[in-house]
Structure 1
Amino acid sequence: MGTRLFAALIPPEDAVEHLDAFLDPRRDAADFRWTLADQFHVTLAFLPDVAEDRVDDYIDRLADGLERTPIPDLRLAGPVVFPDAAATKVLAVGVQPVSEAADVVVERMAGRARNAAVQVGTVVDGQRFRAHLTVARLRRPADTTDWVRLLETYSGPDWPVYEVAVVASHLGEGPGGRPRYQTLAEIPIGG
């Protein structure tokens, strides 16, 4: 088996701290598997099995694809649930563009991250892209209507995206059996 990779936007420290402070007093109210703040990210593309000899090629192709990408300003705000509030498996915070143009830029970045995978001959998770930051996973599907209402009140600080991270995910090697993330590259954008 190869390397599990994802290309992601990593929010800056102030955005992470803001969201973590919002969630912290509420985490004990539900028996969810809460995402650790130092693992907060917005996945652009997930590559479940990349051959070791293709990782550098992927990074190079992604860098080429992002070379002239404008810098979008984003904020974390509002709820996102998968598949829905009545039977949630994943609870997340949405990613809102500060401008309409930023929305298009993030979609293009996700498309380029996926295209780079195809170009190097590796499989990319085919789920439709919806920008979000996972805050918790549920052990079994449950109604999260109250959490959705709570997250409707959340809006974090604006932040510019200057880079895309390529991260290896090592399952079960992190604290509490979580994945351990290893950043392999930080690709600058804004050319």
Structure 2
Amino acid sequence: MTGTKSTRNRRTGRFPQGEASDARLRLFYALKVPDTVAAELAQAQAKLRGNWRRVEPSQLHITLAYLPGVPADRLDDLKRLGVQATRAVGPLDIQLRGTGYFPNEGSPRVWFVKAEAAGLDPLAEALRAGVAELGLETDDKAFKAHVTLARKKGPAPRLPPLVFEDAGWTAGHVSLVRSVLRKTGPIYQTLSRFELRGAPSAGDAAPDLTTEPSAQANLAQLAGAQENS
């Protein structure tokens, strides 16, 4: 991750005044997997052996756009983008398919389940195009809708392919999430969410650009806390 590295007071855990605003945020737009579907995926994760690190069920999601280093003062721009990109999008009927690996050849690093939905690719493309127009950094990977189930941290056997024929959910909103890296795994904080309600009527007011409760209060405290993995 690029950006200014801030120096925190080791005793108080606080940053010098004004320094936290220089920190870079690791963010992504995502569709979160609901608890009922996550529980089914957790049963599949239990089959893993060896050095696979399972993604916690509460953290399972589909990444629509990833932003590895965002200045804190650009957060409002990303909220506005979220509103604009989702304004005319209705709820998405997500269907989970079969499992796979990234990369598929050789020694894989990621185990995932493929996801599909009408309108999913255009939504991801709109968000990614909007991020590029804002002049912010994104990864250069093509969008492939999936839910990451585990990451490999050493030698580990592959599982035979699994198919989820009837697993899925209706996604009613997109989340803007911050990821803070820790040695024990990432901590996710939802900063804002954008409802998928389809095109508003002419008399509808524009959605508020508000964060979820506690997100705004914690943002300054969390800024700069990200560690390199």
TM-score by length of 1: 0.85
Q: How far did residue 140 of structure 1 move?
A: 4.2
Alignment CA distance shift 1:62-1:163 (3 Å) = same
* Aligned ranges 1:92-111 → 2 under 5 Å: 92-97=112-117, 102=118, 105-111=119-125
* Aligned ranges 1:40-189 → 2 under 5 Å: 40-97=60-117, 102=118, 105-140=119-154, 144=158, 147=159, 149-151=160-162, 153-172=163-182, 177-189=184-196
Distance, in Å, in 2 between the alignment partners of 1:131 and 1:180 is 22
Q: How far did residue 71 of structure 1 move?
A: 2.0
Distance, in Å, in 2 between the alignment partners of 1:125 and 1:155 is 31
AA of the residue aligned to 1:171: L
Higher helix share: 1
Distance, in Å, in 1 between the alignment partners of 2:147 and 2:58 is 12
Higher strand share: 1
8 A contact 1:7–1:43 mirrored in 2:
yes
Q: Secondary structure at the match of 2:99?
A: strand
Q: Which whole-Å deviations, capped at 9, do the CAs of 1:147-179 have from their partners, x for residues lacking one?
A: 1x242x33452311111110001011xxx6201
Distance, in Å, in 2 between the alignment partners of 1:40 and 1:85 is 24
Q: Secondary structure at the match of 2:132?
A: helix
Structure showing greater radius of gyration is 2
More relative contact order in 1 or in 2 (CA 8 Å, sep 6+)? 1
AA of the residue aligned to 2:173: E
Q: Secondary structure at the match of 1:87?
A: coil
Distance, in Å, in 2 between the alignment partners of 1:140 and 1:21 is 22
Identity of aligned residues (%): 30
Distance, in Å, in 2 between the alignment partners of 1:38 and 1:85 is 29
Query: Could you list the runs of 4 or more consecutive aligned residues of structure 1 that deviate by over 2 angstroms after TM superposition?
Result: 21-24, 140-144, 153-158
Distance, in Å, in 2 between the alignment partners of 1:126 and 1:141 is 27
RMSD (CA atoms): 1.8
Which sections of structure 2, spanning at least 5 residues, go unmatched?
A: 4-23, 199-229
